[in-house]
Amino acid sequence: MKLEVTYGDSKIPIEIPDENFAGRVVPKPIKTISDIRKELDRVLDNPHGPSLEELSKSKSVCVLVEDHTRDEPHWDLLSTVIPRLQDANKVTFMITTGSHEVEHPENLKIADMIKRISADVGLRNYVVKINDCHDSDVVDLGKTSRGTPVIISAMAANHNLYVPIADMKAHYFAGYSNALKDFLPGICAFDSIEANHSMALDPDSTFGMHPYHPDERKRDNPLADDMREAMEMITKDAKVFTLSVISAGSKLAWADAGNIETVTAAGIEFLDETASFTVEATTHIIVSPGGYPQDKSLYHAQRAIELTKNAVKEGGEILFIAECRDGVAPESAIENFYDKLTAPLDEVLESISSKYHLYEHKAYKFADLMKRVSKITMFTNLDKATVESVHMEKADDPQTVIDEWVSKNPDVQILVLDKGNKLAVYAK
């Protein structure tokens, strides 16, 4: 079986003997929408609840725009939303970085898009802010019932209408990437994000579970429910109108607009139908996050491992194909993710379970997986010393790894999981 696996901006060819090929898992083929603008106009013209134009008229509006780590059609999304805000009193655009890098060149490009489109349509009274979780100009709104402090950028506080623009997909501890995440962590301060993300260590904080899930049996996710509560504290008596999409490369797979709970539930249902898989676990799997920006760093690429790890049996092996052109992690995450992971695995697990610091959940989950499997081999742009320092082996060529697997065990079954950052994999 000859096939290709995504890697950065390219594809890596691999070959697996037919008798050893256990299958390939990718998001299910769906009818995509090539005319993005037309579809966005359609859902905005037919929202769940009042229209964006009606809600924003003579009001203070805060638009939440996802940052550069989301491979969504920012230009089309903004070009469709901004013209509908011309009757607002004031519009604040918040780029929802959460704890991500602030002055990243791609974030600056998104800010420039907002300014260019606003100028083109004649939007007058507006400001653009890239959230900085370490900014001192904040508003403290109190704590959630789980003790998370809700501290947000002052520019994001006290608006009449909030408009989160969200690209949805499976998320390994928040259940699903969705409009709630644009509030927390999106516009929050470091302490809020750290407290909320500490719940990622709870096994109930996992993909497939969310308080807005249409199946009431799948709503118990403490971390995501904490996000829901924080959003309600931030918005208070304000209205919330979301434009949510599910992107498929340069096209759309799904879009909807209006009431946040109704729209998010519909997106979850679509994702469960198209990106959720139950597989027979095998001893050997090949995982790719899905190319850039999903594999921009080890920090980002790890999501694919978490979302697909149920496919590998105890003591099995993983070939992890991720370019990581931006290195191991954003600078802010290196100490508590990468540096933490260089310690012996038992030490990693013990130290994090006693006292949590932001980003350590990623090291904890990675270490927990490494204890469960016998080996993770990585084909990557990262150098050998860097890969080996975090308990993995570096492959010079993916095909060599596959050939060795087959040579050692002629009956080995190999499952390929591509675009893993947008999958949710369960074992039978």
pLDDT digits (tens, 9 = 90+) for 109-148: 999 999 999 999 999 999 999 999 999 999 999 999 999 9
Share above pLDDT 90 across residues of the chain, in percent, rounded to a whole number: 91
**What are residue 66's DSSP bridge partners?**
96
Confidence of residue 248 (pLDDT cuts 50, 70, 90): confident
Give the residue-averaged pLDDT of 234-259.
94
Give the residue-averaged pLDDT of 213-236.
98
DSSP string, 298-316: HHHHHHHHHHHGGGEEEEE
pLDDT computed for residue 8 by the predictor: 97
Q: Flag whether pLDDT at 249 surpasses 90.
A: no
pLDDT computed for residue 354 by the predictor: 67
**Which residue do the tokens 């080890």 mark?**
298
Give the residue-averaged pLDDT of 68-92.
94
Other Cβ atoms less than 10 A from the Cβ of 124: the count is 10
Q: What is the CATH code of the structural domain delimited by 2-26+277-427?
A: 3.90.226.30
Q: Flag whether pLDDT at 250 surpasses 90.
A: no
Q: Kindly list the domain boundaries of the chain, sorted by start residue.
A: 2-26+277-427, 36-274
Distance, CA of 163 to CA of 258 (rounded, Å): 9
pLDDT digits (tens, 9 = 90+) for 309-349: 999 999 999 999 999 999 999 888 999 999 999 999 999 99
Is the domain spanning 36-274 CATH 3.40.50.11440? The answer is: yes
Listed as own residue / partner, the contacts of 9-18 with beta carbons closer than 8 Å and 24 or more positions apart are 9/291, 9/292, 10/291, 12/288, 12/321, 12/379, 12/398, 14/286, 14/398, 14/399, 14/402, 14/416, 15/399, 15/402, 16/402, 16/406, 16/414, 16/416, 17/406
Cβ burial of 28 (10 Å; 0-12, 13-18, 19+) is exposed
Q: In this structure, what are the phi and psi dihedrals at residue 116, rounded to the nearest 5 degrees?
A: -65, -45
pTM across the whole model: 0.87
pLDDT computed for residue 236 by the predictor: 96
pLDDT computed for residue 184 by the predictor: 98
Torsion of CA 19, 20, 25, 30, to 10 degrees: -20
